[in-house]
Structure formats: structure tokens, C-alpha cells
Amino acid sequence: MVIKTQDLAAYMFPSIMEVPITPLMKGSGLSYGAAAGVVVTNPDEVKVLDSSKKGIYAATKMRAEDLVVMNDSRIAGLVITDADEACHETVITRGAGKSLVANASLNERAGQFVTIDGTSGKIYEGILDCTTPDIASTSFQQMIQELVKETGIIVRANADTPEQARKARLFGAQGLGPVRTEYMFYTGERLPLMQRFILMRDESCLERLSELQTADFSGIYREMSGFPVGIRLFDPPFNEFCPKTREQREKTAKVLGISKRELEQRIERFSEDNPMLGLRGVSLGILYEEVYKMQLYAAFNGAADAKYKGLNPKPEITVPFVALPKEMKAMRRMIDDVAAEVSRRREMRIPYTVTAMIELPAACYQAEGIAGYVDGFSFGTNDLAQTTYGFSRTDLARMFVEYKERGILEKSPFVALTEPLLEVIRVGVERGRRGNPSLQIGICGEQAGDPSSLRKCYELGMNYGSCSPFRVPFVYQAFQREVQ
């Protein structure tokens, strides 16, 4: 029997049991499922919620410091005015499996109770009864097993926490693409520690962060025992972690014991006109190698802890934003040195592989040289689309409608792989395999959740695709139709 999309959606996401005729308002549904709760409009309001009272987070646009809200168990869904299908907020919310409605505003309704439907985009007044999915149920797991067996493809998931990794396995993921490690720094005590390191260069903060990340990785290895775990080293520029508002800067200056003027001067060092193309990824790892070393010690110590428990961890150290072979050579040396030291200290061999994220056209053209220092490539097609087209995926929504109406673009390159992107990827795959015939190659951008795009990647000779956990079953389901 062919498994239908609606069958999967009914099992995976909450739905409103009795839908009112008239919604309060309608926006665009960007992440499946229904959610009910009280409207909150800033992170401080989330802290007063208890486990029995869920919140719907409302904002015009998500800031970096708001990212912690998305993974808070007390937040059931989000309403973001300025968001589209491919923007960063949507990608993260979808990965967390939470409802998201865009192009609507609840900013003036703080304290009111609403129910949102991330499938239809409708928002209703009051708390409505919703179904509770059980993805661990025998019937759903049998369905997933059939899909994995019938399609014969390898689909990984982009997950950042042990809980997301657990759900990814229940959805049939055969490993993790990138674990986006920087998101671990936005929670609890971690953000102040990261800010202290960045602004004061207090390296003692890295010791505590390494301990916390070791526990994170141990939990992820537990959920993914026997499957590859792609650990993407720190990627964003430091300015994303610097306090933005006046209130935040006053509070941070007080915590650090410096004047507000001195804090402003320190923050100014990390300001960039275009942080998407600034000091980030491998460049940051080379110039601030202590950050990458901290994460590497955590990744390998977490693997050692997992091995002690009888598990089979498979770390795949992933270096982001690589452009040049010499960058990868420096990173490979650092990774191998830390792995050897941890193996010696823990008195055990820790198997691992190294992957370069291919996100720049230069990396595709330099792929033969880069391949000589790695075991695999992971095409980060979100950034590759940005650097190929010169579009920002956050801002493209403002111009895409008119581009489409004028016949300039048929579809967003951040949703599906277009011909220019495929051509650049083809160069990277061919040259990479020329430099290392055994190279394991995958795609980890959001386009991997688009079955037609993933199918083209397999035709180019890729080994796997990695998408948001909640998209994994739908990718299998789309390929099942082809098998049938």
C-alpha cells in the first residue's frame, strides 16, 4: 500500500479537533501542526511560564538572542511577522517540530490566549483542543520502517539536541547531517559565558563550555549510536552573540564589571557590514583556534564517554565555510592532534571522519585540493545559494514575489535547487571525487527536504541528504512513490 502524505501528517503533528468557522486572522503556515497557549512577546515572559502553561511566542523578526526561545519546551508555537519559507527562523522552528505562522502579528495581544495552525496559517481566539501525536507508536514505527526499506535511500537529519536526535531516529533518520553546535550556546548559563569569552577573552569560560558540550554530544551519540553524527564546528560571526539593545548592553556591562563605553568599544571590534560573509566558519576557527579546540575536545570526550557505556559513537567532524585547500589542511592537523590527545588520555581509540562543508563557489572549484584532506563533503546549499546568487535568504522574500511575477525566477533557490546551483554542485562533486575517489558526499541545506532536489543530488552521485527531522518521513514518502 502506498503511504500518503496525509497519513504521515496525521501521525506526526497536532491538529485542531474542532475547527471554528471564523479565524481571528490568517497568515502563512510555515511549519506543520497546531499549538495553543498564551501570547508572549519577549524572552523574559517565557521564564514565568510553568510546565502546565504553554506559550505562543510573537515577534516581528527573530533576533539571535531569541533563538533560545525556539527550543524552550514551554513554547508551543511561534507567530513571526517577517518570515518566509526559507529564512533562518523557519528552518530552526521546523527542525524543532513547532508550529509557525508568518505574515500575521500578535505583538499587540500579549497575555491573550490563542490557537495557531502552522499548516493552514490560521489563528483562532482561545484555547482549542488539539490531538496529541505518538510518533513512538507501533503503527507509526512500522510505517517508517516500510518507507526506509522500500526506498533504499539514506536520509539524515539536521538536529542540534539529544531530544531532536531521538525524534530524528523515530522518523527514520540514518544519522545526523550537521549538529549546529553554536545553537547550544544560547541556552541557560552558556550565553553569558560565550559573551565573556568574546568580549573579555576569558578562556576559563571555554573550559566550562567544553564540559557542557561534552554532555550534549554524549546525549546525541546515545540517540544515534551506530550512525554518523556530523558535528559542525562553530560557524556564525561573533557579533551574533554580542548584546544588541541598550538594556542588554547595560546589563552585560554590569555583569562583566566594565563601563558601558568600554563595552561598546569591545563590541565595535566585531561589527561587520555583512556578517554572512565576514569572520565566520573556518576563518574564525583559524584566527580563534581555541574555540574550535574547545569543541573538538568536547566532541571526542563525549565519544569516549559513549564508548565507556557500550555505545558506538561515530563523530564526523564537519568544518564550515571552507574555501581553500590550505584552510582545510590547517583544520585537519588540528582535528587529528586533538583526537590523538584525547585517545591517549582516555586510553582508547576513537574512530572519526572529517567532512568539509562546501558552501562557496570557490570551494567547488578548489574541491580537488580540499578533498585530499577530508573523508567527505557536505554541500551546505543555503549558503551556497546566497553566495552564488548574491541573495540573502533572510531578505529574498521581499523581492521574490515580484521576481516571480516578472518571470525572472520561477522558484526560490533557497527552497529547491536551481540549474545554476546544480551546475556549481556538479563541479564540486566531480572535482572532489577526482581528488578522493572514496569521498562520501551529502547535501545538508533545506533544499534536501525537497524530494525533486534530492533526487537530482543522487543523480549527481551523492550518498545522502540531510534535512529537518520532521521532513525526513516526507522525503522517504516521496521516493516511495517513485519506487512503486
What does each C-alpha distance from 306 to 215, 233, 354, 436 come to in angstroms? 10, 20, 19, 30
Considering only the C-alpha atoms of the chain, give the largest distance between any 2 of them, rounded to a whole number of Å.
Answer: 68
Nearest to 178 by CA among 448, 455, 474, 417: 448
DSSP state of 236: S
Q: How many CA atoms lie within 13 A of 71 on its CB side?
A: 18
Residue 428 CB burial class (10 angstroms; 0-12, 13-18, ≥19): buried
| Pairing verdict, β 25-26 and 376-379 | unpaired
Question: Grid coordinates representing 37?
Answer: 497557549
398, with CB counted inside 10 A (0-12, 13-18, 19+), is exposed
Rounded to whole angstroms, the Cα distance separating 312 from 105 reads: 46
* Active-site amino acid positions: 88, 444
What's the gap between Cα 95 and its chain centre? 7
Q: Supply the DSSP string of 82-123, one letter for each residue.
A: S--TTSHHHHHHHHHT-EEEES---TT-TT-EEEEETTT-EE
Contacts of 454 (CB under 8 A, 6+ apart): 443, 447, 448, 465, 467, 475
DSSP annotation of 30 reads E
Tell me the HSE value of 226 on the side-chain side, using a 13 A CA sphere: 4
